[in-house]
Amino acid sequence: MTTVPAAAQVLAILRYLARQAAPVPAAAISRDVGLPRSTTYHLLNTLAEDGFVVHLPEERRYGLGVSAFELGSGYARQAPFQRLARGPLTRLVDRTGHNAHLTVLHGREVLYVIEERAPGRPSLVTEVGVRLPAHLPASGRAMLALLPGPQLRALYPHPSAFVARTEAAGPRSLTALRGDLVATRRRGYALEEGEVTLGFSSVAAAARDHHGLPAAGIAVTYETGRLSADEQTRLADEVVRTARELTRRIAGSERS
């Protein structure tokens, strides 16, 4: 694929500004993005004219403008990620006959954004809009397993971050969680048994973004003890296959 240098530079500036906690000087943008200062000023002026960047003259700093906000609002309205994920999730349910759902990571929580229910299967707590502690559901662990170590430590700085929902509890310390995540990376998928709802288990895998970081968790939930070991393995294979399909659909990378 041919890259247009100016377009790549504009996108690099916008991404950089989006990561900052507050407006920043042009010199910092030039240094951190790796652009000549003259090029940086030229691009910032162009972006400011179209409202994607705002210049704060008294502070001599630049931040995101209203047009950038409109882009984000448009993304939320159109929900392209959910549209791209719906088909693979529906096909996963058709192939397995079990309920499936898609979550995204939000701090120490997962947010359920899609639920596909199989005919005749019971409803679960994992309805759209529900939030759960990320270290409990399989979809959360699948995503946590792809995070860099420092980010994981920042999310779980002390034992009080580890809450439980059921008697199954789940990991209660960063050491225990790390052990679970090591096993998840080794298998290629995450498992959970009764830690969200007693009597139900889940298997999940993560779809990745273009940096190889977790974009979403895809999980299938089934009644505990109803599947043989071979059936569980086949179910996990289907979940991993679906996560890889979604990774391709969002132009993600299998490598972190």
Instruction: Tell whether pTM > 0.75.
Output: no
Residues 146 and 238 in one domain: yes
CATH of the domain at 243: 3.30.450.40
- Let me know if residue 256 belongs to a domain: no
Residues 23 and 139 in one domain: no
Confidence band, pLDDT 50/70/90 cuts, at residue 3: low
Task: Show the domain range for 126.
Answer: 79-249
Residues 108 and 221 in one domain: yes
Residue 40 has pLDDT above 50, yes or no: yes
Residue at which a domain ends, from 73, 90, 108 = 73
- Let me know if residue 213 belongs to a domain: yes
Residue at which a domain ends, from 73, 96, 119 = 73
| Range list of β-strands (E), 69-140 | 99-106, 109-116, 131-133
Total count of domains within the chain: 2
Of 134, 94, 139, 140, residue with least CA distance to 117: 94
Residue at which a domain ends, from 56, 73, 90 = 73
Residues 130 and 229 in one domain: yes
Supply the mean pLDDT for the chain: 89
Segment 252-256 shows an average pLDDT of 79
Residue 194 has pLDDT above 80, yes or no: yes
Of 239, 214, 228, residue with least CA distance to 99: 239
- Let me know if residue 43 belongs to a domain: yes
Residue 11's CB is within 10 A of a number of other CB atoms, namely: 11
- Let me know if residue 243 belongs to a domain: yes
Segment 141-167 shows an average pLDDT of 89
Residues 60 and 99 in one domain: no
